[in-house]
Structure 1
Amino acid sequence: MAWVALIVAGAFETFGVAMMNQYSVSRNWKPLVFLVLGFCISLFLLDYSMNTISMGTAYAIWTGIGVVGGTIVGMLFYGESKEWKRILCIFIILCASIGLKIVS
């Protein structure tokens, strides 16, 4: 269950980052509320998962999901570069995250 919570925490981190970008564009209160809510849920689930998963592994996976998710959201919704070098780096981060899961 801790691994599921950690993956969902990473997804909420990605959501929070997307709302941060949306807030910087619109300066509307709704993205700000979703930003705070997304990060609060993310941190709560990260804390929960760290009861079972070691801190270093949990934090690395959480940040990895956030980095990959934020980059993909930026590419799909905000017109960021889809250059092959960026995609290769995302792949490397994913492989490292999977490796941490395997050795933990």
Structure 2
Amino acid sequence: MAWFSLILAGAFEMVGVAMINQFHVKRSVLSLVLLLLGFGASFVFLSIAMKDISMGTAYAVWTGIGACGSAFVGMIWYGESREWRRILFIGMIIAAVIGLKLIGE
């Protein structure tokens, strides 16, 4: 359950980051509300996950999911660079997150 909460926390962080970008593009109340809800939910699920997962591992995985997911959102919806080196290094972050899960924290 803790790992599921951590994945949800990372997913909501992606929503928050995407809404920061959306808020800069079009300042609307909806994007601001979604930004606040995204980050709020992210912190709630992160705190739930940290009851069973160590702080360092939880934080590393949370930021990794948020960073990689936000980079992919940027590529898909905002036309950001899809250069192979960028994707390679994002893949390395994903591999590190998987590694942290596999070592059993």
Q: Same fold (TM over 0.5)?
A: yes
Aligned mates of 2:43, 2:89 — CA distance in 1: 25
TM-superposed CA distance for 1:83, in Å, is 0.2
Aligned: 1:70 with 2:70: yes
Aligned mates of 2:98, 2:69 — CA distance in 1: 15
Task: Give the TM-score normalised by the residue count of structure 2.
Answer: 0.98
Name the amino acid aligned to 1:53.
I
Aligned mates of 1:96, 1:5 — CA distance in 2: 19
Give the total of aligned pairs.
Answer: 104
Q: 1:56-99: per-residue Cα shift (whole Å, max 9, x none)?
A: 00000000000000000000000000000010011100000011
Aligned mates of 1:23, 1:35 — CA distance in 2: 8
Runs of 4+ aligned structure 1 residues displaced above 3 Å come to none
TM-superposed CA distance for 1:49, in Å, is 0.3
Where does the alignment leave 5 or more consecutive residues of structure 1 unmatched?
A: none
Where does the alignment leave 5 or more consecutive residues of structure 2 unmatched?
A: none
Task: Give the TM-score normalised by the residue count of structure 1.
Answer: 0.99
Aligned mates of 1:7, 1:22 — CA distance in 2: 23
CA RMSD in angstroms comes to 0.5
- Over the matched positions of the two proteins, sequence identity in percent amounts to 58
